[in-house]
A and B are shown apart, each in its own frame.
Chain A
Amino acid sequence: MLLRTAVRRPLRLVIALCLLTLVLVGCGAEHYPQTTLLPRGDFARIADDLLDTTVKWALLVFVLVEGILIYAIFRFRGRPNDPEPHQTHGNTTVEIIWTVVPALILAAIAVPTVRAIFQTNATPGQDALRIEVVGHQWWWEFRYPEYNLTTANELVVPVGRTVSLHMGSADVIHSFWVPQFAAKRDVFANRETRMWFKAEVDGDYPGQCAEFCGIQHGRMAHRIRAEQPEQFQAWVAQMQTPGPRKPPAADRLYAEGEKLFTAKGCVACHSLVAVNAPKGMLGPNLGNVGARSYLAAGTLKNTDENLARWIRDPQSIKKGVLMPNLGVTAEEARALVQFLRAHR
């Protein structure tokens, strides 16, 4: 029938669109380093499983209801002079069905949801690695009480051991987001919030602040690096070795940088020690700044050139950042870079 063809075409379109959707969501995920759809940790997996459940039901309902709507559009298209259609006012049976069926579908979503709510709110065991996370405008501080270590913007965790994040804020509300291993949780200045996860594979992934926190909310990114237990222990050992990896004693540039770090006032906001670092510093801990992959919370790749640019003119790179322009010359910047690069 002519009518049938008229309906089949749009229906096919809807189905094709749905398939395209699935392809876009599922297959391409590895091209998106910050994706939530390729869980690599237990917490993220719980969230992703729930998403899968709801997406399946949502797609079913979508295809059915939009299909019926499109069918109705073509089937009941009228002309101005057509006779008045039959004047129905309702149908109790149908109305009961379409109240009850959605309720049942929701129950199918609600049961795993409630289970997952309690799973994700559970307290991790005693053997979990405790990490304290502090949000700052606009960077992240990470403290490892177990190892007396402090670092910034690059969170390193061991694979296979549950990590228990105890989180707070130094100023406004931020939201700490680990899309690949966990999810997100807001941080506040007046309460501790928690999140936990166990990384299943190693890798180096991006994350970023997810609660609007002022002018540079857009530049408050961090890295999450999951390491195999041996590599993680090696990293801890390296961090615990005090002091910079000094170049040969005759390095004039290094000595100059060391002096400038105090003379230019950098020392007022930044600590250079990762072990037993002082709390409450305004700027990120620089104990291993030389080894980090990014500067200024994901703003710049950590190259010598970028580090010098950042030291000389942070305000034009990240307007509003709390680090002022300190009138550092190009020559002085080179010395500071040499000095900081040794802190690995």
Chain B
Amino acid sequence: MATRVLEHEAHPAAGHGEQTGLWSWITTVDHKRIGILYGATAFLFFLLGGIEALLLRIQLGSPENTFLSPETYNQMFTMHGTTMIFLAIMPLSAMFFNFMIPLQIGARDVAFPRLNAFSYWVFLLGGLFLNSSWFFGAAPDQGWFGYANLTSKQFSPGLNVDFWMIGLQILGIASLAAAVNFFVTIVNLRAPGMNLMRMPMFVWMSFITQVLLLLAFPVITVALFLLMFDRFFGSSFFVPAGGGDPILWQHLFWIFGHPEVYILILPAFGIVSEVLPVFSRKPLFGYAAMVFSGVFIAFLGFGVWAHHMFSTGMGPIADAFFSLSTMLIAIPTGVKIFNWIGTMWGGSLQFRTPMLFAVGFIAMFIIGGLSGVMHSSPPADLQQTDTYFIVAHFHYVLFGGSIFGLTAGAYYWWPKMSGRMLNERLGKLHFWLMMIGFNLTFFPMHFVGLHGMPRRVYTYPEGLGFELMNQIETAGSFVLGLAFLVFLWNIYKTSRGPRNAPADPWNGATLEWAIPSPPQEFNFAKIPVVHGRDALWEQKRQRGGPLPEPARVSGQGIHMPNPSYWPAVTAVGVLAVLVSLMTLGTTGVPGVVAGVALLFLGVYKWAYEPAG
């Protein structure tokens, strides 16, 4: 009975809301278009971060190398980390939140479409602002973790830290606005019958991610405000000379920073939990355990932050507490891995490209998880921390985990988002190049780290035995780069072909596959009614076979929100206010007043503009 959209009488595809042109993208409030904007922007930033990584690898390819100067190297690794975390992985996840959450829960859009547009514009401006620092020769150079008191005016007098601090503050606004939006969307806009324990696992993991964002980002916002006061107005929250404490920054940063790790990985958990059942042709194993392990990971994620600080000498009680709480996280994480394997067990595995990346994700994430347990033990961590062993660990989690998972999602949902199938042969080439390149790059880092190579050094001397492994890593990183060139080629090549994707190319289990590829602006001509988990499989089972290809219908009578450019104006206002603080010395109070005026104009016009 569900989704009568499929039997909806076919109207000629009417032009309702299907605008084109640049202006239509600037004013769009359609969650799918915003999702594509997020995806395209984040992918460009991902390529930028990747190029930065390759430059770092060239520099480290031989000892005493002078390819990058010390200050350029420091800027490069700071921007590589900042870019990959805030401008690539998070917004790539946001692409899928945007595009897929409404479709998977059977909604027409997100709860606050204009706020959604606002989030994107703030993110874009924040990313551009952060990277504009390159043109001033003042790219951030203090590390993505920005440890005080190196960030104080005394030790970092330039604009570098200002760019980072203001940039992150801007990006935090985008993340918080988006988190509120998706939280409310998931709570309020689920289709009739879709109770919480019927939600697709991607929606569940996204939901938990929003809660983490809502609780973690205010902490970094506060920390950055304190830092702003230190730098702009001469306070000394983190400056020992003025009675402040640099360790306070570490606590605040990691209370945000550790949940942030789960913000980066939980969406990938969700994607893999969607891909594996579809390509194993059987439902997710242990659905409830998957939900609760995700909740448990998120909860524990707020009680482990100081395992980033064992080397600060917190004393035995704190060390023991944070060590044990960290080890506890391995249990729900293990449950997830076993459930994924359990999903494959006894299935009929179809190794299409999304499945390859999902299985690669499991294989690589296991390694990252195990090395994580190794440094949950403080005395052992006192040797490992700040060495390449840690670099290896978190790349197995964030690349082997998040990026493999997001790439699985990209291949899985590409047909739905673009209306075109990606080339399977190129997809498989991409996978194998990425698998080989990834392991060549990051596996030797475990050894070079345990053998004493510290992180964040712009070069290393001969004679410490680091040469060979660094050469292998550098070679591997170029294989990794090649893998993504293959992906780009795949996108380019197929984008010139016909729109050949059917509504349901993979025999999908969830509602997004019930509607045409790409979906029409209103998603569902009729809001579906859900009777169980894997709602679409349920429908197909009732029908006793595949569903007919859904027709494009006229959206007449469907009420959709109006486009608006005020979210973009407001976003520029946010940028103006924060940048005017940074340039207070030159633009002075009038600059701040102008920024605030623009912000208020945007909010005012937005508030009084009819929504549609």
Q: Which residues of A contact B (CB under 8 A)?
A: 24-25, 28-29, 31-37, 44, 46-48, 50-51, 54-55, 57-58, 61-62, 65-66, 68-69, 72-73, 76-80, 82-91, 94-95, 98-99, 102-103, 106, 109-110, 113-114, 116-121, 137, 171-173, 175, 177, 179, 183-186, 188-191, 193-195, 206, 208-219, 221, 298, 319-320
A184 and B383 contact, Cβ closer than 8 Å, known pairs A109-B327, A190-B240, A320-B71:
yes
**Residue pair B451, A54 in contact (C-beta under 8 Å):** no
Contacts of A44 in B (CB 8 A): 383
Contacts of A90 in B (CB 8 A): 285-289, 342
**Residue pair B459, A82 in contact (C-beta under 8 Å):** no
- Max chain B Cβ within 10 angstroms of own Cβ: one of A119, A186, A216: A186
Q: Complex: how many Å from CA A79 to CA B351?
A: 9
Q: Complex: how many Å from CA A51 to CA B247?
A: 27
Partner of A76, one of B73, B247, B346: B346
Q: Give B328's nearest chain A residue, CB to CB.
A: A106
Min CB distance B421 to A, Å, is: 15
A172 and B155 contact, Cβ closer than 8 Å, known pairs A85-B346, A179-B383:
yes
Min CB distance B405 to A, Å, is: 16
Min CB distance B278 to A, Å, is: 12
**Residue pair B374, A80 in contact (C-beta under 8 Å):** no
In the complex, per-residue mask of B366-395: 1 if CB is within 8 Å of any chain A CB, else 0: 110011011011111011111100000000
**Residue pair A88, B311 in contact (C-beta under 8 Å):** no
Q: Give B293's nearest chain A residue, CB to CB.
A: A99
**Residue pair A113, B378 in contact (C-beta under 8 Å):** yes
Partner of A186, one of B313, B371, B379: B313
Q: Complex: how many Å from CA A208 to CA B388?
A: 14
B21 within 8 Å of A (CB atoms): no
Contacts of A88 in B (CB 8 A): 282-283, 285, 346
**Residue pair A47, B383 in contact (C-beta under 8 Å):** yes
Q: Complex: how many Å from CA A68 to CA B339?
A: 12
Contacts of B149 in A (CB 8 A): 171-173, 189
Min CB distance A312 to B, Å, is: 19
Min CB distance B303 to A, Å, is: 15
**Residue pair B350, A65 in contact (C-beta under 8 Å):** no
Contacts of A72 in B (CB 8 A): 341, 344-345, 349
**Residue pair A65, B337 in contact (C-beta under 8 Å):** yes
A121 and B319 contact, Cβ closer than 8 Å, known pairs A24-B447, A50-B379, A320-B70:
yes
**Residue pair B377, A113 in contact (C-beta under 8 Å):** yes
**Residue pair B464, A33 in contact (C-beta under 8 Å):** yes
B17 within 8 Å of A (CB atoms): no
Partner of A215, one of B74, B335, B387: B74
Contact-residue bracket for chain B: 35 or more
Contacts of B283 in A (CB 8 A): 87-89
**Residue pair B150, A32 in contact (C-beta under 8 Å):** no
For residues 39 through 66 of chain B, which have their beta carbon under 8 Å from a beta carbon of chain A? Answer: none
Q: Give B372's nearest chain A residue, CB to CB.
A: A58
**Residue pair B316, A85 in contact (C-beta under 8 Å):** no
Partner of B386, one of A33, A193, A211: A211
In the complex, per-residue mask of B446-474: 1 if CB is within 8 Å of any chain A CB, else 0: 01001111111111110111100000000
Min CB distance B365 to A, Å, is: 11
Contacts of B116 in A (CB 8 A): none
**Residue pair A35, B155 in contact (C-beta under 8 Å):** no
Contacts of B466 in A (CB 8 A): 32
For residues 310 through 367 of chain B, which have their beta carbon under 8 Å from a beta carbon of chain A? Answer: 311-313, 315-316, 319-320, 323-324, 327-328, 330-331, 334-335, 337-339, 341-342, 344-351, 359, 362-363, 366-367
B281 within 8 Å of A (CB atoms): yes
Contacts of A173 in B (CB 8 A): 147-150, 246
Q: Give B337's nearest chain A residue, CB to CB.
A: A65
9 A-B pairs with the lowest CB-CB distances in the bound complex, closest first: A34-B452, A78-B348, A183-B382, A190-B240, A218-B457, A32-B451, A32-B465, A189-B240, A121-B316
**Residue pair B380, A50 in contact (C-beta under 8 Å):** yes
B241 within 8 Å of A (CB atoms): yes
Q: Give B332's nearest chain A residue, CB to CB.
A: A99
Q: Complex: how many Å from CA A215 to CA B319?
A: 31
Partner of A65, one of B246, B330, B335, B366: B366
Contacts of A46 in B (CB 8 A): 379
Give 29 CB contacts A-B under 8 Å.
A33-B465, A36-B383, A51-B380, A65-B338, A69-B362, A69-B366, A73-B349, A76-B349, A87-B283, A89-B283, A89-B287, A90-B286, A95-B339, A113-B379, A114-B323, A117-B316, A120-B379, A120-B382, A121-B316, A179-B452, A185-B311, A185-B382, A186-B311, A186-B313, A189-B246, A212-B147, A213-B150, A218-B70, A319-B70
Q: Complex: how many Å from CA A137 to CA B384?
A: 23
A34 and B71 contact, Cβ closer than 8 Å, known pairs A44-B383, A185-B313:
no
Q: Give B451's nearest chain A residue, CB to CB.
A: A32
**Residue pair A214, B287 in contact (C-beta under 8 Å):** no
**Residue pair B311, A184 in contact (C-beta under 8 Å):** yes
B69 within 8 Å of A (CB atoms): yes
Contacts of B454 in A (CB 8 A): 177, 208-210
Contacts of B287 in A (CB 8 A): 89-90
B563 within 8 Å of A (CB atoms): no
**Residue pair B386, A25 in contact (C-beta under 8 Å):** no
